[in-house]
Each structure stands twice: as structure tokens, then as C-alpha cells.
Amino acid sequence: EPEVTQTPSHQVTQMGQEVILRCVPISNHLYFYWYRQILGQKVEFLVSFYNNEISEKSEIFDDQFSVERPDGSNFTLKIRSTKLEDSAMYFCASRTGGSTGELFFGEGSRLTVL
Amino acid sequence: AQSVAQPEDQVNVAEGNPLTVKCTYSVSGNPYLFWYVQYPNRGLQFLLKYITGDNLVKGSYGFEAEFNKSQTSFHLKKPSALVSDSALYFCAVRVNTGRRALTFGSGTRLQVQP
């Protein structure tokens, strides 16, 4: 069964460092998302990406964040200068075209900022 | 704006008993509703969705949910709980305009006692 894969599974970084989280969505999916979850709490939307551009973003997704789909398979989330409060589990998700499809989530990348 | 409320942080039920996990929503327009389950240190797994049609939808692992438009609710149910159902359950909503991201509730921890 196809799945969304994420790397790394866990990353520890120093405050102020740049971090790139990588995702390989399911191959025939068209919509891509990043969500985050702090300490097993609420799942918060960050950004959605469709047709090679951001289609929606939340207030969390400020200038420190960026997304890219550089090669047609990978979908990356970059945090330019990490803060302590960026420590969370980051989930990538994807879905097919149309409006009714459910999201398929990866296993997540745990980011710890020290 | 769209939002989801899960009024119970935790639900405790004995194995073999029926379970209900509550969810209410608020959207402008017709909702698409979803339930996801999260096991410890894992990603979110899709359980079921309501798009249109029959108000009672059936999903994975024997779960079902009932859409109630007048009460703006989408409660998750199972006739007979298993210990292995113990997990974190998230309700999510999206309006039927296709490109909006899913908004998740705060989650309900289901604990099934043997």
C-alpha cells in the first residue's frame, strides 16, 4: 500500500539553526500539507501546496517557514532560524485531486530545538 | 472560519461496552467531516469520512459515525470496544470548496479497560 514517507524521524538542533524536513508524498497525489503537533496535543495546520504553489497557510506559517517541491517527488519544509517553540512533531500529508479525498499522513518528524 | 470541538479530553469505557467520542463542528457551507486515530508515536490514520448521502457512515476497525446537520455533530461510535482501540481520536472538518485544509479538533483520548 502506498504511503507518505518522512525524514528524518527525529532531529535535534540548536536554536537559530536552519532545519529542513523532507517528505515523499504518495505518487499520484496532487495536494500536499504540513501540520504540526506539540506534545501529543492539537494537530495544527501550517500550509497547503497545490500546483507548485502555496494554496493556503496559517498564521503559524510566518516568514521563518518555507516549502518547496524541488523535483516532483520530494516536498520539503524549511525552518530558517529555529526557536524553542518550534519543537514539535511535524506531519506531512497528501491527498488526491477533487474535494472529497481524505489526507494520508506520514509518521512524522520530531523536531527538538535546544 | 471553520472549527471543531471535541468536548471530552478523555473517554473511559470497559472492553465490550459501546463507545462514543463526541464531535461538533462549525463551518460556513456544507461540511466534509473526518475521523482520524493516532496511536502513540505514530502518524494519523484515517478512519472514516462523511461527504454526502447517508448520515451513518461506516469505517475501519468497526467504527461508525453519525452526521447530524441540525446539531452540527459527527460523533464516533463503536458497538463493542476493544482494548486495542485505546488511542487518541481526532475529528476534522473542511468545507466543500476543495482547496481548504482540514481543521482538527483538540483530540479525545480513548481508554478501554480490560
Type of residue found at B112: V
pLDDT given at position A56: 92
Q: B100 to chain A: which residues are within 8 Å by CB?
A: 56
Residue B80 DSSP class: S
pLDDT given at position B37: 96
Evaluate if residue B19 carries a pLDDT over 70: yes
Question: Strands, DSSP E only, in chain B?
Answer: 3-5, 10-14, 19-21, 24-26, 31-38, 44-50, 56-58, 64-68, 73-78, 87-95, 103-104, 108-113
pLDDT given at position A72: 79
pLDDT band at B95 (very low <50, low <70, confident <90, very high): confident
8 Å CB contact of B44 and A33: no
Question: Which residue from B32, B104, B105 is facing A100, i.e. has the nearest CB?
Answer: B32
* The three cell numbers locating residue B70: 441540525
Distances (CA, A) of B104 to A14, A81, B36: 30, 27, 9
**Span B9-23, average pLDDT:** 98
Evaluate if residue B97 carries a pLDDT over 70: no
Chain B residues at the A interface, defined by Cβ less than 8 Å, are: 32, 34, 36, 42-46, 49, 51, 88, 90, 96-107
**Smallest Cα distance from B16 to chain A, Å:** 27
List of chain A residues with pLDDT < 70? none
**Span B62-85, average pLDDT:** 97
pLDDT given at position A2: 77
8 Å CB contact of A41 and B45: no
**Span B92-106, average pLDDT:** 83
3-state SS track over A93-106:
EEECCCCCCCCEEC
Q: Say what percent of chain B tops pLDDT 70.
A: 97
Evaluate if residue B84 carries a pLDDT over 80: yes
**Smallest Cα distance from B98 to chain A, Å:** 4
A38 interface with B at CB cutoff 8 Å: no
A100 interface with B at CB cutoff 8 Å: yes
Residue of A nearest to B40 (CA): A40
- Long-range pairs of A9-14 with CB within 8 A, sequence gap ≥ 24: A9/A107, A9/A108, A9/A109, A9/A110, A10/A109, A10/A110, A10/A112, A11/A109, A11/A110, A11/A111, A11/A112, A12/A112, A12/A114, A13/A82, A13/A111, A13/A112, A13/A113, A13/A114, A14/A82, A14/A113, A14/A114
Q: Mean pLDDT check: name the lowest of A15-29, B68-82, B98-112.
A: B98-112
Type of residue found at A5: T
8 Å CB contact of A99 and B105: no
Distances (CA, A) of A41 to A6, A25, B79, B81, B108: 20, 24, 27, 23, 10
pLDDT given at position B29: 85
A40 interface with B at CB cutoff 8 Å: yes
Evaluate if residue B43 carries a pLDDT over 70: yes
pLDDT given at position B98: 53
**Span B70-93, average pLDDT:** 97
What are B54-73's pLDDT values in tens digits?
999 999 999 999 999 999 99
Q: Which residue has the higher pLDDT, A1 or B85?
A: B85
